[in-house]
Amino acid sequence: MSLFKQPMTQDEYYRGVRMARYDLVKELTYALIGVAVIALVLAAAFSSPDVPPITVASWAQADPVDFVTTATGELAGSTTSAGYGAPYNNAGGEQSWGPIAPQVWFGQRIPVDSANAFVLQPLAYASVGNTDLGKALGAWKTASADQQTKWLNTYTDALGKATVTDGKVTVADGDYGPLPVMMNGLLTVAQSGGLDGLLLTNGRFYQTDYTQGLLFIGDSGYLDGLATAANLTGSQWGMMNETGQYPGQTWLWLYTMWYQVWPFTSDTGFLGLNGGNADLGIVFLMTVLTAALALVPAIPILRDIPRWVPIHRLIWRQYYAPKSKAAARA
Partner 1 sequence: MLDQKAVVTQPAPKTAASTPPAASDGSWTLRTRQWVDRVLPMDHLLPHRQPYYVGSWVYVFGVVTIAALVWVVVSGVVLSFLGPQWWHDSSLGRFFNSLHFWSVQLFFLFMVLHLWGQYFMAGWRDGRAATWMIGVVIFATSILTAFTGYLSQLNFDSQFIAINAKDAMNGAGVGAFFNVLNFGQMYGLHVMLLPIGVTFLVVVHIVMVRSRGVVKPIAPEGRSAK
**Number of residues assigned to the chain:** 330
Cα(54)–Cα(108) distance, integer angstroms: 28
Closest separation between CB of residue 196 and partner 1, Å?
13
Sign of CA dihedral 170, 173, 179, 182: positive
Q: How far apart are CA 89 and CA 23, in angstroms?
A: 60
How far CA 100 is from CA of 38, 77, 110, 131, 272, in Å, comes to: 47, 27, 21, 52, 11
* CB-nearer residue toward partner 1: 164 or 295: 295
Tell which residue, 65, 30, 203, has the closest CA to residue 121: 203
DSSP secondary structure letter of residue 91: S
Give the DSSP letter of residue 120. Answer: I
Q: How far is the CB of 277 from partner 1 (least distance, A)?
A: 7
Least distance CB 121 / partner 1 (angstroms) = 18
Half-sphere CA count of 320, side-chain side, radius 13 A: 8
Element containing residue 165 per DSSP (H, E): strand 163-165
For the chain, the distance separating the N- and C-terminal CA atoms, rounded to the nearest angstrom, is 32
Q: Letter for the amino acid at 268?
A: T
Identity of the residue numbered 2: S
CB of 136 to partner 1, least distance (A): 31
Least distance to partner 1, CB of residue 237, Å: 11
Which CB atom, from 136 or from 282, has the smaller least distance to partner 1?
Answer: 282
Which residue, among 256, 254, 258, has the nearest Cα to 293 in the 3D structure? 254
Nearest CB to partner 1, comparing residues 172 and 289: 289
Nearest Cα neighbor of 253 from 266, 240, 267 is 240
**For partner 1, the closer CB: 164 or 327:** 327
Please identify, using beta-carbon distances, which residue of 163 and 228 lies nearer to partner 1.
228
User: Closest approach of Cβ 10 to partner 1, in Å?
Assistant: 4
- Of 47 and 153, the one with the shorter C-beta distance to partner 1 is 47
| Minimum distance of partner 1 from residue 242's CB (angstroms) | 5
Nearest distance, CB of residue 61 and partner 1, angstroms: 16
Residue 83 has, within 13 A of its CA and on its CB side, a CA count of 8
Q: Which amino acid is at 113?
A: D
Quick one: 18 or 146, whose CB is closer to partner 1? 18
Give whichever of 70 and 95 is closer to partner 1, judged by the CB atom.
95
